[in-house]
Each structure stands twice: as C-alpha cells, then as structure tokens.
Structure 1
C-alpha cells in the first residue's frame, strides 16, 4: 500500500477517535471547568497518557518495527514471533511492577505533583485515588504497543489506528451519567478514571485478536533477559526517548505548573487542540514511513528512501500548516465557540487561547520531528535521535522554568512561557534531525521540494487572510449565524476551501499527483487478496 494510502487509513481512523475525544473533552470541561477536579483528573491521567503517546502513538512502534521486521526478513515469521514474545513478556513484567509501585507510592507522590491543592484533603484524596485507578492502563498499553508494531509491519494499519476510540467511548459514559442520575464531581472523577483502565483492557484484547487473525502466535511467559530482548531494549529504549521528545516536554511543563491553580487544566485543553494535527498527520505518516524506509534501507535502495522521506515531509506540511495557521490566528474563536459551556467560562477560554497561540507556531516542528525520526529508526540508529531529544527536553526545562517563574513574578500567566519553551525546543530538535540527515546525504533540500513548500506557504497565507477578519468580528458572526458553533464551522470551512483552491491554483499539488500517491503499490507488503477481513 502506498505511503499516502497508509497515511489516509491512519488519519481517517484517528480522526474518528479524535472527534470522540473532543466530545469527551467538552464533557470534561462542562463538568469540571478549570477547577480542582479538572486539575486532579489531568494529574491522574498524566503518566498513563504520556506512556500512551510514547508507546501507542508511534515512538515505541517506530523503534520496534525495524527490529521485528529485520528478524522476520532474515529468519522468518516463527523467529520474529519468538523475538516479539520474549520482548513482550519482559516489558510487561517491568511495566506492571512499575505500575504497582506507583500505586503504592501515590499518596506521597500526589502532594508533590499537585502542590497547588496540597492543603485540601478532599482534592488530594480524589486525585490520589484517580491516579491509582488509571495506572493499569499503562500496563495494557505496553502490550498494545507491541501488538500494533506486529500489525503495522505486516501492512495492517486499520485496527491499531482504530482501537484508541475505546478510550473516548469508555470515559464518555461516566461523564454523561450526571445528566441522567445525580452524581457529585468526586464520583464522576473516580468513575472516569476507572473507565480509562477498562478501555486499555479492551484495546489490548482487540489487538491480540487482530494479531491472531493475522496468523502470528505470541505468548506471554516468564520474563527473561535473552539476547533478543537485550538487543530490542538497547534500540527501543533510546528510540522511545528519541521519538517522545514532545511528550516528555509536555510532562515537564505539567510538573512545573503543579503550584498554579488551574494551570494544568489550561495545558490539558491547549494540548488536546494542538495535538490534533500531530495525531492525524505526524503519527500517521510516521507509522506509514517506518515499514517503507526499513524495506528501502535493508535492500540498499537509498534513492527510494530519499524519495519516501521527501514525500512524507511534503505531505505532512501540506496538511499541518493550515491547522497551525488556524490555531495561531483564531484560537479564542475556536475555544470559546466549542468548549465554553457549563463550568468552563469565556475567561477560561481566553487564558487557554493565549497559551494555544504559542503552541501553534511549534505545531509544524512537532509533526516534522515525527517524520524525520523514522530514517534513523529504519537503520536501527536510535542513539542520535535520543541525544537530540534529551537536548530538546533540557531546553524546555531551562527556558520553560525561566519564563514560567519570570512571567509569574511579573504578574502575567507563566503557562504562556511554557508554551513558548516547548515550541522553541521542538524547532531545535527538528534542526538537529534535519541537519544530520542532510549532512550525511540521507536527505537533501531539492529545488522541487523548496518550490512546492513555498507554494504551500502561500496557500496558508491566503487562508490566514480569510481567518483574520473572522477573529475580529467573532461576536458579529455569531449573532449573524445564530450560534457561535455554527460561526466557527462556517469560518473554518471557508478557510479550508480557500486553502484547497489555492493549493491547486498555485500548483502545489495537482489532481494527477493525488491519484498517483493514493495508488496501491503492487509489491508493497500487506497488499493483495490475502489481507484478512476486518484488519485493513
């Protein structure tokens, strides 16, 4: 299957999950606003969510797929299944033990994580219990990540992209329950936290079924540090760190905001919006790139690898830049029109919008990092991306701390400084990744690529020209169209239409090129009649 087709499968299914996730976030904001229970929930979800993004959304998969695919190509399916089973058993034992340790230690950890509410025993109890309830999700994601890697290596992207929808489905039920039966905020919080772990069990079971349907038999046995496991960990652990710079930066930011009431809720809402293009485009292209790049480098087809990477960068920017422009130009319009309701006020929306605007100009870098790391992973080089990732996190810690506390002392919102630091560090990471690839000849900035990228920029500028007046006359548009929700849909639709037309007019893309990239590759793995029903 072609890169664009694989990306389309990933992005379409991820979009469905993100739409439900947006509905869940609306329910969360309506129930809790930016009060103590919202801070408690975002803190309880912080560690499991970080591991979900590190493992289930690409970083671990990008490190594991070349290892599994290499063994499969050299030694066959049976040897690959043994390697995967050994890695699965060892990782699950380690992560399950880590989860239990965190659950036991959480009463002592939570006052440090959520210091703003340290003196409120009710909030501390609710936050601690919620965090203990969400921890099993982390262990489930360990198994799910490896199962997704097995499916993706075989060209099966649909199931691994589709199962995250159960996180949103499961958590929506307790959040909507207060509209049917009377429930206090603490009960809703604990029920929603338990639903997170339930969704992990469902995702793991479905992926296990998918792998069995594929004909691959994995066994969860006693953990052993075999040579195969040692080699997997040697590459995978740095790979997780390398591919998870954005997630690690997000955790650093959340830790810094523990002393500021409502700040963690602001970060959560801004994070969910700017992560949308990352999930739809960056992760989808990143996962689709890894198998193709692995085949190219294993076969010695370096020119094919360069073309694949060029296509990935061009596609990712064509889809990402308009999203970044919209988040930068009309952040308050988007948030107030969609999220403000119930306990979430327009003042909350204004604070979140200020933070989102400074995440927005980092969005292209967040996506580019997802596209530029697979060439390293495909050659089993995880050390250099890990070093770049550590440098990125160091910048976030240093610059973010300085801006956060500096702005707080100046009477301004320190969370804005964390957004600035995160975006700066993301661009530094991209510069290091791209510079290394260009220096060693893996990728080069061709004239054709530069020309097409400039045309995408022009189309994005034209879209911004449409969105900017809408942000100025937001209230007038809402009155004219009778509802602010209708207004934001109309404005975003108009912007998307202008952008699409300009892409064609400026010849950044053409209909024939779109048909070409969506055409199935005849020799691609995973194509053909042997595709199991329901998996592709």
Structure 2
C-alpha cells in the first residue's frame, strides 16, 4: 500500500466505500428546462451559487465537527457513518436527482408553457406519486435486506463485527432519506421551472444545520455521535421535503398527494429517463468497486469522504450552477436554431467555469495537506488521517476541471434531446474508472489510487463528450475562447506557485500568526488563520494575473454585473 504513514497496528480496521465523483453527500438541485422569471445565465447562476456557497460553508462546519467527533482510522464510528450517509445517496443520484429529475423537469416546463399550469401540475402530481412509491418500496426492501447488502458492498467489514453491525444499523436509520430527497428534488424542479431558484438552492442548508445541532452535544462519544448524525440525516430529509412542498404550493403549483398511476406523461418521463438511469447506474458501479477496495483500509472511506467535500466545492459552486443556468438558455437557442447564440452560450459557460475552477484545482494540488490539516485535524481526526486524506485530495484535484466540464458539455446534448450519447460515454468512463481503481490500488497507490481513477475517468468522459460535439459540428470553442482559456491557465499556474511555496514554508508563516494570537489572549487558531492568509494572498495573485494577462478585463466584469442585475 502507498499509505506509508501507519498508526498503531492495533487501530487498523477495514473501511467502507467511496463517494461518487459526480455527487455530494448533500442534495444538488436538478437543472431546470426553462425559466419563466429567470434573468439570464449570470443572474440564475449567481442566485444558485450564492446559496450553494452558504450551504457549502455550513457543510464545512458540519464536516469539521463530525470528523473531530468521529475520527478517521481509529474506531468503527467514522467509516460506519460514512457508509450510512453514502448508501441512500447512491440511489438518490440515480432516481431523485439524476435520471428521473432530468426527464421530469423539461416535461413539466414544456407542459407549463404550452398547456398551462393545471395540466402541468397534474403531470407533477402523477410523477411525484410514482417516484415516491418507487423509492419507498426500494427503501423497505433495503431495510429488510441490509445485513446481506452490507456483506456485498463492504467485503472488508466482514473481518470486523463491530464495524459491520454499526454500519448496518446506521444505514437502516438513514435509508428513509431516499424517498424524502426524491420528493424534494422533484419539487425543486417544479420551482426551477417556475423561475424560483431560492428554495431549490437553499434547502440543502437544512441538512447541515440539523446535523450540526445533533452532533455538537454528542462530542466525546464516537459511536453516540455517529448515531446522532444518522438520525439527523433522516430528520433533515423530512424537513427538506416539507420545505420544498411548502415553497411549491406557495409558488402556485397545485400539486397533491395521490396514488401512483402510469399516466401517459409519466410513461413518457420514464422512457426518457431510462438512458440516463443506465448511465447513472453504471456510474455507481464505480462506487461499488471503490467501496470494496477501500473497505480493506481502516479509515479509507472517511479519508475519501473528507477529500470529497473539498473537491466538490468548485463543482457545486461552478459546474452545477452554470449547468442549471446554461441548459434553459441553450435549449431556447437550439429550438430557435440560433447558432450564434448556441456558440456564445457555450463559450461563455466554458470561460466562466474555467476562470473559477482552474485556480481552485491549482490550490487543491499545490497545498492539499495544508488544507486538510488546517480544516480537519482535531479531536479524533489525527495527523495520520490528514496525511492520507491529502494524498486523495491531490489526486482529486487534477480531475476538478473535468468534473466541471462534464456539467458544461453534457447540456449541449440534453438541449437537443440526446440522452443516449452521454449515457454511452458514461459507460466507457465507468470501465476506465473500474480498471484504473483496481490497477492503481493494488499497484501500491492505495486509497489515493482510487481518487486518481475517478479523475482519470472524468477526463475520459470530457474527451468523449468534447470530441463528439466537435465531430458533429455542434460546438467548437472559438479561437478567442481558447486564447482566454490559455491566459486563465497561466494565471492559475501563478497561484499554484505562490500557495505551493507558502505551504512549504508553513512553519515560518504560522509562527508569527501564533504569536499574534497569543498576544490577543488565545492559543488556538494559528493554522486556520495561516490558511486564510495564504489562500487570500493566492486569490489576490490570481486576480492580478488574470487582469494583467487580460484573461479578464474590467469592462467584462462591469458587463457581467449589469447583465446579472
């Protein structure tokens, strides 16, 4: 194994699976097909990104508290909890916020525009009944068969009865989160189609706040904190579904509780969703493979989940937000056969996403241990855990641009009603991920190899999507866009040099910060303050280089602000 920094062998215990490369442990709103009240890509992106930023910050606070309370490689609590959190999320990505939502939202928006609110709300009522029924049945089956399921999804747990039993119980507690999130995701799509982005961007915040409130009193008891966090997941799911229901009704959507029926619109949605469901299901094969691999390394599941939080930040803020704003704009341009607008929309999304993503990727790769240690090393989460988490974060870092690009390139197919092509490419990337994960893990990279496989598969998907768009003449980045991307990359490289050097000189930076804090009467917070200082300096350097190389101009910033308003 490549995980050379070993703790006391007595503490080594197996660990559960890894998170998917395309999702997070918290909900992500489905992309809207249209916006009746939306004000353009920048405005909709700003609304969703701003709320996502609040959610991510609350998520960081949640994860800092939970990792400190549950630890990493020592004890069964952390790995069992992360299994319990990931298992319902696995199915959520397939049903709630993946295939079904992607098929439902355009159908609802189209019906809303062409046939009126009454007919559209009948479609939403039937769809809600169908997805609720399917996920409740799946939840009940999973609850009853969880001991047998756990032997399949976490082979490494079989050698540790305590970890195995705790993972089964906690996953049974969190599994009802699935139908709650299926309902919330569908209602969030209704809100987006009606041009209401605030609640769909804000409802994930409830998960973080409720979990914080539950875990903070349980600190000091690893297993007790794991139980508290798991019950909080269920409570948050109920709260999120209730909030989205209230918001949809308040927005004028007359959606009712009903018995499930396979009405023609629901059948059409299911048929449309099948290719995407196959693609999403195939992606989860990687979760299964990676999970079984990481279950043989104590703390492996927790290390990957912690690294996942950091690399998912740019994906949530940039990729998802721009994808949400891009799809309706691109769909309108395709429907009107406005090729100039199609090109402009894609170029703008590409430049804007990379201007925000490349510096984030540079920082993740240049100072992974600095980031993880400053944010998470405390309580039961040890320096050993931080070091292995940093190894995984570095490998995730070079995949971050690819994760975001997938969110930009895939809408070019979806806007044309093509869900099969992205599905095929997803299957190819699944095969690449599986082969790389197994090969790199046993070649000695260990947990970091699993993360490297995720990034490699993401770049494979990007190359396939971009290549297909190029060959079909649907999108080719303009010369001006490529020039801008090169300048953005140069500015991001400058940031990487600055923060990388600062990370290597970390003791010299932290010492005066600690002295200053001591003078102010506190002995804590030196590493956190040093991290803020370094990231702030790196951000200023990037902005200066971006303007100096004309990757970004003052006139463009002013124009974007005016358009956003």
Identify the residue that residue 500 of structure 1 maps to in structure 2: 543
**What CA distance in whole angstroms lies between the structure 2 residues aligned with 1:243 and 1:494?**
39
Structure 1 residue 297 displacement after superposition: 2.1
Identify the residue that residue 321 of structure 2 maps to in structure 1: 284
Does residue 1:157 correspond to 2:197, yes or no? Answer: yes
Question: Structure 1, residues 241-265: CA drift from partner, whole Å, max 9, x if none?
Answer: 5478876644542233122221111
Structure 1 residue 55 displacement after superposition: 6.2
Question: Structure 1, residues 312-364: CA drift from partner, whole Å, max 9, x if none?
Answer: 11111110000000000000011111110111111211111111101100000
SS at match of 2:476: coil
Question: Structure 1, residues 108-132: CA drift from partner, whole Å, max 9, x if none?
Answer: 2223333333244333222111101
Identify the residue that residue 380 of structure 1 maps to in structure 2: 417
Identify the residue that residue 225 of structure 2 maps to in structure 1: 188
Identify the residue that residue 84 of structure 1 maps to in structure 2: 124
Gaps of 5+ in 2: 1-38, 515-525
Identify the residue that residue 452 of structure 2 maps to in structure 1: 420
Does residue 1:140 correspond to 2:184, yes or no? Answer: no
Identify the residue that residue 296 of structure 1 maps to in structure 2: 333
Question: Is the Cα–Cα contact under 8 Å of residues 55 and 145 in structure 1 kept in the other structure?
Answer: no
Gaps of 5+ in 1: 408-412, 523-536
Distance 1:403 1:243, change over 3 A: same
Indicate the RMSD between aligned Cα atoms, in angstroms.
2.0
**What CA distance in whole angstroms lies between the structure 2 residues aligned with 1:124 and 1:147?**
36
Q: State the number of aligned residues.
A: 514
TM-score if structure 1 supplies the norm length?
A: 0.91
Distance 1:357 1:338, change over 3 A: same
Identify the residue that residue 556 of structure 2 maps to in structure 1: 513
Question: Is the Cα–Cα contact under 8 Å of residues 68 and 83 in structure 1 kept in the other structure?
Answer: yes
Question: Is the Cα–Cα contact under 8 Å of residues 156 and 292 in structure 2 kept in the other structure?
Answer: no
Question: Is the Cα–Cα contact under 8 Å of residues 362 and 424 in structure 1 kept in the other structure?
Answer: yes
Identify the residue that residue 214 of structure 2 maps to in structure 1: 174
Identify the residue that residue 4 of structure 1 maps to in structure 2: 42
Distance 1:47 1:519, change over 3 A: farther
Distance 1:65 1:300, change over 3 A: farther
SS at match of 2:322: helix
| Matches for 1:47-86 after TM superposition, within 5 Å | 47-53=87-93, 61-86=101-126
**What CA distance in whole angstroms lies between the structure 2 residues aligned with 1:241 and 1:430?**
18
Identify the residue that residue 22 of structure 1 maps to in structure 2: 60
Question: Structure 1, residues 365-405: CA drift from partner, whole Å, max 9, x if none?
Answer: 00100111112222221111111111111111122112112
Structure 1 residue 521 displacement after superposition: 7.8
**What CA distance in whole angstroms lies between the structure 1 residues aligned with 2:483 and 2:275?**
35
Question: Structure 1, residues 469-520: CA drift from partner, whole Å, max 9, x if none?
Answer: 1121112211121111111110000000111111112111223222323434
Question: Is the Cα–Cα contact under 8 Å of residues 235 and 380 in structure 1 kept in the other structure?
Answer: no
Question: Is the Cα–Cα contact under 8 Å of residues 218 and 228 in structure 2 kept in the other structure?
Answer: no
Question: Is the Cα–Cα contact under 8 Å of residues 29 and 343 in structure 1 kept in the other structure?
Answer: yes
**What CA distance in whole angstroms lies between the structure 1 residues aligned with 2:54 and 2:482?**
33
Identify the residue that residue 528 of structure 1 maps to in structure 2: none
Question: Is the Cα–Cα contact under 8 Å of residues 140 and 201 in structure 1 kept in the other structure?
Answer: yes
Question: Is the Cα–Cα contact under 8 Å of residues 67 and 380 in structure 2 kept in the other structure?
Answer: yes
Question: Is the Cα–Cα contact under 8 Å of residues 297 and 305 in structure 1 kept in the other structure?
Answer: yes
| Matches for 1:317-332 after TM superposition, within 5 Å | 317-332=354-369
- Once the two structures are overlaid, the 10-residue window that deviates more, 319-328 or 221-230, is 221-230
**What CA distance in whole angstroms lies between the structure 2 residues aligned with 1:231 and 1:89?**
15
| Matches for 1:441-452 after TM superposition, within 5 Å | 441-452=473-484
**What CA distance in whole angstroms lies between the structure 2 residues aligned with 1:380 and 1:174?**
44
Question: Is the Cα–Cα contact under 8 Å of residues 358 and 416 in structure 1 kept in the other structure?
Answer: yes
TM-score if structure 2 supplies the norm length?
A: 0.87
**What CA distance in whole angstroms lies between the structure 1 residues aligned with 2:351 and 2:90?**
28
**What CA distance in whole angstroms lies between the structure 1 residues aligned with 2:339 and 2:273?**
23
Question: Is the Cα–Cα contact under 8 Å of residues 45 and 321 in structure 2 kept in the other structure?
Answer: yes
- Alignment equivalent of 1:456, drawn from 488, 505, 509: 488
Identify the residue that residue 391 of structure 2 maps to in structure 1: 354
Identify the residue that residue 472 of structure 2 maps to in structure 1: 440
Structure 1 residue 60 displacement after superposition: 5.2
Question: Is the Cα–Cα contact under 8 Å of residues 281 and 316 in structure 1 kept in the other structure?
Answer: yes
Does residue 1:371 correspond to 2:371, yes or no? Answer: no
